[in-house]
Amino acid sequence: MASTIYDIAKKAGVSIATVSRVFNQSTSVSEPTRKKVMAVAEAVGYHPQAYAQGLASKNNNTIMVVVPVISNYFFMEVLGGIQDKLSELGYELNIFNVTADDNLFSQVEHVLKRRWAEGYLFISIHLDDNQWKQLTRFNVPITLVDEHFEGFDSVSVDNVQGAYRATKSLIDLGFRRIAMLSALKSSKPIRDRLSGYKKALEEKNISICEDLIVSGNSLYRDGFTERGGYEAMIKMLSMNDIPEACFCASDIQAVGALKAMKDIGKFIPIIGYDDIELSEYIGLSTIRQPMRDMGFYATQNLIERMKNKDKAISQTIYSPELIHRASTTVNEII
């Protein structure tokens, strides 16, 4: 249960009135007392802003979605699923955009301290286990999407398995010199998909060539962009020994890669990852993530948690689906 002004007063050994004066920045409170109260508030994840704005009510019917990029196709599909669920209910939806940089944890803390919502959905927010553990002190309902930690409800996809299936499908077609069109290697989705790609190659005793793991120069959105895919494919097609086929870390990068192949006039089979709506129309083979379902059921889990904070933690991991289309058909030109 979330801490209140009453809990802070008790732990700090002061009256509720004193805590109120501290939060209202009254000059009648001594500096040592102010520091003591603020230290307790910080330790329990309570922020004065919540008191000042009157947000300490038991239920304010607001859900906040925290995302690193809201213009990404993946996020938009997940958000669609969230809205599908909320349209059945009377909850208000707010979106908070964070930047995926070294201060990500501080940004997430900032959101939770202010108690802007009754429950929070974190989409593709990737922190380490220690940082997730620290966030449990806020005692607010949180559900993770595209990530998992044992202390929170979560809905995610097995990215290692998805990349493995994509790469294995190319091996099964007879290809052995298979490239991976990557993005920023420090990003968690890439780490998992790179692991699946290598696992499929190793299983068939195919040597892993680091030169065949190629990224674009543009790191906007960690490289998950059309431009990133275009630049990476240009590099591949410029190699002395061009790859026989390519696993692409995302569909949106594959869109850029297909444009690069068309511009140069060289084509290799390619498979993407996500199955965004556009993929069907351009004939892109891909690994399907149930993005809309992820948003829908994550929201359902969150609302259940908001109604019953003592319920058992729910962690759903979807198995991605392989979708064959024209882009991996041998000798087919898109």
Q: What is the pLDDT of residues 236-292, one digit of tens each?
A: 999 999 999 999 999 999 999 999 999 999 999 999 999 998 999 999 999 999 999
User: What topology is assigned to 5-52 in CATH?
Assistant: 434 Repressor (Amino-terminal Domain) (1.10.260)
In this predicted structure, what is the pLDDT of residue 56? Answer: 45
54 Rama sector, left if φ>0, alpha if ψ -120 to 50, beta otherwise: left
pLDDT score of 331 more than 60: no
Positive or negative, the CA dihedral 224, 227, 230, 232 is negative
* Strand order across the beta sheet in which 245-248 lies: 213-214, 178-181, 245-248, 270-271
Q: With beta carbons less than 8 A apart as the criterion, state whether 74 and 52 touch.
A: no
The tokens for 235 are 């590099």
96 vs 59, residue with greater confidence: 96
Positive or negative, the CA dihedral 134, 139, 145, 151 is positive
Lowest mean pLDDT among 89-103, 269-283, 318-332: 89-103
DSSP assignment of 50-100 = HHHTT--SS---EEEEEES-SSSHHHHHHHHHHHHHHTTS--EEEEEE---
In this predicted structure, what is the pLDDT of residue 2? Answer: 55
In this predicted structure, what is the pLDDT of residue 24? Answer: 66
Kind plus residue range of the DSSP H or E element containing 120? strand 119-123
**Where does CATH 3.40.50.2300 sit in the chain?**
62-157+291-318, 159-290+322-328
- Segment 130-176, tens digit of pLDDT: 999 999 999 999 999 999 899 999 999 999 999 999 999 999 999 99
- Segment 281-296, tens digit of pLDDT: 999 999 999 999 999 9
- Segment 12-27, tens digit of pLDDT: 888 766 877 787 666 6
Dist CA 333 CA 282 (whole Å)? 11
Q: Give the mean pLDDT of 123-129.
A: 90
In this predicted structure, what is the pLDDT of residue 44? Answer: 78
Positive or negative, the CA dihedral 20, 24, 29, 35 is positive
In this predicted structure, what is the pLDDT of residue 113? Answer: 87
Q: Give the mean pLDDT of 65-92.
A: 83
Share of the chain above pLDDT 70, in %: 88
- Segment 212-237, tens digit of pLDDT: 999 988 777 777 889 999 999 999 99
Dist CA 163 CA 160 (whole Å)? 5
In this predicted structure, what is the pLDDT of residue 51? Answer: 44
Q: Which long-range contacts (CB under 8 A, 24 or more apart) does 189-192 make?
A: 189/124, 189/146, 189/159, 189/249, 190/222, 190/249, 192/159, 192/160, 192/163
In this predicted structure, what is the pLDDT of residue 54? Answer: 43
Confidence class for position 194, pLDDT limits 50, 70, 90: very high
Confidence class for position 321, pLDDT limits 50, 70, 90: very high
Dist CA 322 CA 146 (whole Å)? 18
This prediction has a pTM of 0.78
**Is residue 122 classed as helix, strand or coil in its secondary structure?**
strand
Sorted by sequence, the CB contacts under 8 Å of residue 101 that are 6+ apart come out as: none
Sorted by sequence, the CB contacts under 8 Å of residue 263 that are 6+ apart come out as: none
The tokens for 93 are 């939806």
User: What topology is assigned to 159-290+322-328 in CATH?
Assistant: Rossmann fold (3.40.50)
Q: Give the mean pLDDT of 110-120.
A: 89
User: What topology is assigned to 62-157+291-318 in CATH?
Assistant: Rossmann fold (3.40.50)
In this predicted structure, what is the pLDDT of residue 90? Answer: 75
In this predicted structure, what is the pLDDT of residue 325? Answer: 96
Q: With beta carbons less than 8 A apart as the criterion, state whether 71 and 225 touch.
A: no
Dist CA 275 CA 220 (whole Å)? 21
Share of the chain above pLDDT 90, in %: 60
Amino acid identity, position 257: A
The tokens for 175 are 């290809």
Confidence class for position 55, pLDDT limits 50, 70, 90: very low
pLDDT score of 115 more than 90: no
Q: What is the mean pLDDT of the chain?
A: 88
CA 209 to chain centre: 28
**Where does CATH 1.10.260.40 sit in the chain?**
5-52
89 Rama sector, left if φ>0, alpha if ψ -120 to 50, beta otherwise: beta
